[in-house]
Amino acid sequence: MKELAEILLTEEEIARRVQELGAEITRDYQGKELMVIGILKGALPFMADLIRQIKVPLRYDLMAVSSYGDSTRTSGAVQILKDLEMGLEGQHVLVVEDIIDTGLTLKYLLSNLQTRRPASLKVCTLLDKPSRREVEITPEYNGFVIPDRFVVGYGLDYAERFRELPMIGVLKPEVYTGK
């Protein structure tokens, strides 16, 4: 694909890691029921594949959040666009994210979810960019640590494009800078 500078993670690498994460989560939640919360839109493909690998009873719901700021940096001010349809009190909750960058949005979201009194609250992310972190957030389940590059595919987008790609690629700078 001409807009990609390189393939960072292949479809096969992603599938293998999702299977491993599913096995880890299954082991950790043995004997418990799990509530999985996917963060729209980017986490949807990852969450769909992940829940098929988790072998404990689970329910899932979706949230949509919006972070305000310019296109390359979040301000940390978050608005919930779609809230959960189910309560969390007493539930073992796993938040599924596509990518953790600065951590500002996720920190807000975890704070919000904690007020709903879950029995436990953990995070599973496909991608983690710790070099960009502005707040202390460490996901309990982490697919891949990646460098500070603009990535798309497998749910991640640029201007709502590239989400359908089965792999994760690095977007060429000229695509998002216009230069």
DSSP one-letter string for the chain: -TTEEEEEE-HHHHHHHHHHHHHHHHHHTTTS-EEEEEEETTTHHHHHHHHTT--S-EEEEEEEEEE-S-TT---S-EEEEE--SS--TT-EEEEEEEEESSSHHHHHHHHHHHTT--SEEEEEEEEE-GGG-SS----SEEEEE--S--EEBTTB-BTTBSTT-SSEEEEPHHHHH--
pLDDT recorded at residue 75: 55
The list of the chain residues with pLDDT below 50 reads 70, 72
Catalytic residue among 101, 128, 148, 157: 101
pLDDT recorded at residue 73: 54
Q: Which amino acid is at 3?
A: E
pLDDT recorded at residue 108: 92
Q: Which amino acid is at 36?
A: V
- Report the topology of domain 11-147: Rossmann fold (3.40.50)
Q: How far apart are CA 91 and CA 11, in angstroms?
A: 32
pLDDT recorded at residue 48: 98
User: Residues 38, 42, 44, 46: what is their CA dihedral angle, to the nearest 10 degrees?
Assistant: -100
Q: Which residue has the tokens 């007020």?
A: 115
**Contact status, residue 64 vs residue 39, Cβ threshold 8 Å:** yes
pTM: 0.93
Active site residue 101: yes
pLDDT recorded at residue 145: 97
Q: Which residue has the tokens 């991640």?
A: 156
